[in-house]
Amino acid sequence: MASHHYHHENHDQNGLKQGEVVVVMVPLPAQGHLNQLLQLSRLISSYDIPVHYVGTSTHNRQARLRVHGWNPLATANIHFHEFPTPSFLTPPPNPNSSNKFPSQLVPSLLATSHLREPVATLLRALSPTARRVIVIHDDLMASVVQDVTSVPNAESYNFQSISAFATYWFVWEFEGKPFPIDAEILKEAPSSESCFISDFWDFANTQSDFREFNCGNIYNASKVIEAPYLDLLEKEEMSKNKKQWAIGPFNPVAISDDKKSNQRHKSLKWLDKQAPNSVIFVSFGTTTSLSDEEIKELAIGLEKSEQKFIWVLRDADKGDVFEGEVRRAELPEGFEERVEGKGMVVRDWAPQLEILGHPSTGGFMSHCGWNSCMESITMGVPIAAWPMHSDQPRNAVLVTKVLKVGVVVKDWERQGELVTSSTVEEAVKRLMASKEGDDIRKRAAELGGAVRQSVAEAQGHLNQLLQLSRLISSYDIPVHYVGATTHNRQARLRVHGWNPLATAHIHFHEFPTPSFLTPPPNPNSSNKSPSQLVPSFQATWHLREPVATLLRALSATARRIIVIHDILMASVVQDVASIPNAEAYDFQSTSAFATYWYIWEGAGKPYPIDAEIMKDAPSSESCFTSDLLDFIASQRDCRSFSSGHLYNACKVIETPYLDLLEKEEMSKNKKQWAIGPFNPVAISDDKKSNQRHKSLKWLDKQAPNSVIFVSFGTTTSLSDEEIKELAIGLEKSEQKFIWVLRDADKGDVFEGEVRRPELPEGFEERLEGKGMVVRDWAPQLEILGHPSTGGFMSHCGWNSCMESITMGVPIAAWPMHSDQPRNAVLVTKVLKVGVVVKDWARQGELVTSLTVEEAAKRLMASKEGDDIRKRAAELGGAVRQSVAEGGVSRMELDSFIAHITR
């Protein structure tokens, strides 16, 4: 349970909240750069952070006039500062130049040096009333913001307006090519000299001396698209150990298109009449002019292709887009009449994002400016790449050779040659009317979906929610952890893998419940379901009133109360519906795979599913006792008030099942977040500590990957006969082991005697040095994280699965009850990071020593086991990466935190 409190706010006479963070945005005065930082301003201001957008009157006016895809009211928290610069030349673009670089913009770029003093004055004015002033500047505006170093509470961040792929090549070259790189891509990457003119290089070089003072780098990039190149940019030789954030796409990813609006652009009305994916959009941005000859060839090529098109035919921008005449390019005689109904020529500004987002648009012939690439990729539209200058040739390589979501119109090697009508015709047909084009379109659609998803909105049961409490409290949000005295004591006693001081921001509330029966577990039961715990579950019904009282008490002083409850505690928190500023989120402590099956069955099996996996998935009836199913059913009526679902799941492991859970029939249109693993992923093991567990000291003496860890959790007791067979099997396998041999928990783990299971006579003596038996609580996470541990014989409780997968340790699966049989299918059949000890179909049979021996040898001493261990290690690495800064689970948690603190 988290409470998000109001903070008392003071305001100065300018409306600035004293002590808040403010952002100053300093773009380069060219359309692609202006637009990206205005879009980023919108995103940052949506966090209720004031943004000050700095530029000349001309360029601020240009940016605001052309921004599209979002409501102009979204600029309410963006303050525009318009500073004068001396007059500068605004020559028209030269369409006949052999080099398409926009040299006409260079005078306006040089004039930006005069912005230094007014920007410094603004920073000094904002500084006294702000807690921190954040300056985000275009990479090519570093000299303008150099005075940030003289403002004590100011920090600056460098913004790269080009792709990470292109940035990587430029930085790698600039740093003297510090390490070898992919030869195949190196062969494709155009030289820097061929992409720019000398005037621009001179301007760019004036900025390099002023980049040292920035605190980090921001990219309009997405890890879904460019993870390998973002990783390379993080190398010390490239990043100089500065932080970086890839937070693109900046453009809106969902376009609201009101078809009844009188303001709707004519191109969108025309698109409404066309078939899906039938139109190619042709536009070359704001910095390139085509010659009369190039226009003629392009027109003839489009006509001959017989594909429908929208062509934005405009001259390139000048330094001041509002000054002087604009050339009107001429089309071949009769062209527009001949293609009427088949094509549309637009000679003014066009709503590019809405056109790309329209279902009739199936391709984009583009110059490959990074804005255009990001918008096209986001909307799932493939590209016919015709690069002109700057970063565009390298972006074209990314689109066509790396991502494979486009075709080449013009190879950069032939940059000086005229693109003929037959070349245009061929490229258009390849993209719009071929099997190759359909395949590319499918890849583009899949990538677009992943990119749009990337910006979408952030243990036994006791242990998982305590771990989640730790994670949420690390965001400086107070967490109230509620339970019976016995169970809170149990949770705190057993939590492991992190510093107990991490609970400093967690408030434990211990409420009384009536006495309940705590029968011992029955090791000889034919059903391993922990029926001994049912009385303690039923006793939790008495927590409803004290929880409601706590919520009402917190409500008075909190802006919002977030209640996170185990799915099986819905009845306890049902009064959340009566508290106006409270929201509830149910937490699933089982895998997404198991959860999916339960919900699918509960929803009446609303659609067909994978027959192969269905064959392996055990029935619910075989996994639970009737009294547990009754308790579960009692919670069902109290779940409707939930605002969303949290999973201790990771998209690296369970994306297909998380996606299925998002289906409307399953989710009821409620949000969900997969924010696992909750357990720490890096274990700090102080070998000199006197408190270190004996099992870890023993592991220190063993070879890497040589020990199998055997533990069946806290809810299962083995019979004397099962223990005997397991012991003989481990001995015969001749593998080293640590075996945690404890009886299952009762409802109150602190009450009464605990059974001490007996081992075969002489077993521990015979295996001294080969194996260790632990009869008390063992530090499972640290054991799994130790380099000597090479396998885990487990009941497949989801806590144990997640800890083992996180640490890269393969599993010998021996499920006992509840979700465990389905988790075992996930581990062995889907992820293929484990072997089966006991098939669930044979659940009533005794597991013999021979079966144990075979499973231990398969996992620990065979080629199959080595392959499984390798897969497990790779999956573990990916899962650990997912909770690092920028990882998919970290982003899911950030998204959830942003959602609840909105």
Cβ-count burial 468-480 (b if 16+ within 10 Å, e if not): bbbbbbebebbbb
The DSSP call for residue 340 is B
Burial of 131 from C-beta contacts in 10 A (0-12 / 13-18 / 19+): exposed
Alpha carbon dihedral 702, 705, 706, 710, in 10-degree steps, equals 100
**Domains by residue range for the chain, with CATH:** 19-246 (3.40.50.2000), 266-454 (3.40.50.2000), 461-487+502-680 (3.40.50.2000), 694-882 (3.40.50.2000)
Sheet of 279-283: strand order equals 343-346, 308-312, 279-283, 361-366, 383-385, 406-408
Query: How do 644-647 and 671-674 pair as beta strands?
Result: parallel
What local confidence, expressed as pLDDT, does residue 604 receive? 75
What is the predicted pLDDT for the residue at 10? 37
Statement: residue 5 has pLDDT above 50:
no
pLDDT band at 18 (very low <50, low <70, confident <90, very high): very low
Distance CA 731, CA 669 (A): 53
7 is a catalytic site residue: no
CB 477 within 8 A of CB 897: yes
Question: Cα separation of 553 and 278, whole Å?
Answer: 60
Specify burial of residue 638 (Cβ count, 10 A radius: 0-12, 13-18, 19+): buried
Alpha-carbon gap, residue 817 to 797, rounded angstroms: 9
pLDDT of 11 higher than 50: no
- Residue 497's pLDDT is 44
Position 684 confidence tier, pLDDT thresholds 50, 70, 90: low
Q: How confident is the model at residue 702 (pLDDT cuts 50, 70, 90)?
A: very high
Confidence at 874, pLDDT banded by 50, 70, 90:
very high
Q: What is the pLDDT of residue 177?
A: 75
Q: How many other C-beta atoms lie within 10 A of the C-beta of residue 256?
A: 10
Residues of the chain with pLDDT > 70, as a percent, come to 78
Q: Does 178 sit behind a cis peptide bond, omega within 30 degrees of 0 on the bond before it?
A: no
User: In whole angstroms, what is the distance from residue 843 CA to residue 100 CA?
Assistant: 72
Residue 68 pLDDT grade (very low, low, confident, very high; cuts 50, 70, 90): low
Q: What's the pLDDT at 192?
A: 65
pLDDT, tens digit (0-9, with 9 covering 90-100), for 592-625: 887 887 777 777 777 777 656 666 667 766 667 7
Secondary structure (DSSP) of 697-744: HHHHTSPTT-EEEEE--SS----HHHHHHHHHHHHHHT-EEEEE--PP
Which residues touch 696 (CB under 8 Å, ≥6 apart)? 685, 779, 782, 783, 786
- The string of pLDDT tens digits covering residues 573-594 is 888 889 999 888 888 878 888 7
pLDDT, residue 505, reads: 62
How far apart CA 157 and CA 881 sit, in angstroms, is 25
- As a whole number of angstroms, the distance between CA 96 and CA 527 comes to 83
Q: Which of 33, 59, 461, 645 is catalytic?
A: 33
pLDDT tier, 318 (very low <50, low <70, confident <90, very high otherwise)? low
Of 218, 237, 217, 227, nearest to 174 by C-alpha is 237
Q: Across 90-94, 527-531, 827-831, which has the greatest mean pLDDT? A: 827-831
Highest mean pLDDT among 1-5, 38-42, 80-84, 420-424: 420-424
Separation between Cα atoms, residue 76 and residue 750, nearest integer Å: 59
CB 555 within 8 A of CB 581: yes
Query: What residues have CB less than 8 Å from 700, skipping those under 6 apart?
Result: 687, 786, 788
pTM, whole model, 2 decimals?
Answer: 0.49
Query: Between β-strands 20-26 and 582-588, what pairing exists: parallel, antiparallel or unpaired?
Result: unpaired
DSSP letter (8 states) at residue 4: E
- 138 labelled catalytic: yes
| Residues 6+ positions from 566 with CB-CB distance below 8 Å | 461, 465, 586, 587, 589
pLDDT one-digit tens code per residue, 468-525: 777 777 777 878 777 766 666 655 554 544 444 455 567 777 777 776 666 666 666 6
In one-letter notation, the amino acid at residue 327 is R
Q: Which phi and psi (to 5°) does residue 8 adopt?
A: -65, 135
Q: What is the pLDDT of residue 259?
A: 61
Reported as type and span, the H/E element at residue 485 is helix 485-494
More confident residue, 221 or 272: 272
In this structure, what are the phi and psi dihedrals at residue 384, rounded to the nearest 5 degrees? Answer: -95, 110
Cis status of the peptide bond prior to 128, with omega within 30 of 0 = no
Average pLDDT (459-469) is 58
DSSP string for residues in 62-100: HHHHH--SS-GGGGTTEEEEE--------PPP-TT-SS-
Q: Is the pLDDT of residue 19 over 60?
A: no
Better-scored residue on pLDDT, 467 or 696 = 696
Instruction: Give, as one character, the DSSP assignment of residue 52.
Output: E
pLDDT greater than 80 at residue 4? no
673: pLDDT strictly greater than 70: yes
Sign of CA dihedral 815, 819, 825, 831: negative
Largest CA distance in the chain: 101
State how far the Cα of 295 lies from the Cα of 224, in Å rounded to an integer.
36
Cβ atoms of 565 and 2 closer than 8 Å: no
In this structure, the strands spanning 279-283 and 361-366 are: parallel
Catalytic residue among 52, 138, 461, 819: 138
Fill in the DSSP letter of residue 354.
Answer: H
Rounded to whole angstroms, how far apart are CA atoms 594 and 660? 12
Q: Answer whether 304's CB lies under 8 Å from 425's CB.
A: yes
* Helix intervals (H) in 734-830: 763-766, 780-785, 798-806, 820-825
Whether 519 contacts 532, CB under 8 Å: yes
Please report, as a single letter, which amino acid is at residue 368. Answer: C
Asked whether 328 and 134 are in contact (CB, 8 A), the reply is no
Q: Are 620 and 646 in contact (CB under 8 A)?
A: no
* Angle subtended at Cα 866 by Cα 862 and Cα 868, rounded to the nearest 5 degrees: 115
Sheet strands (E) in 506-569 = 506-511, 558-566
Residue 146 has, within 13 A of its CA and on its CB side, a CA count of 17
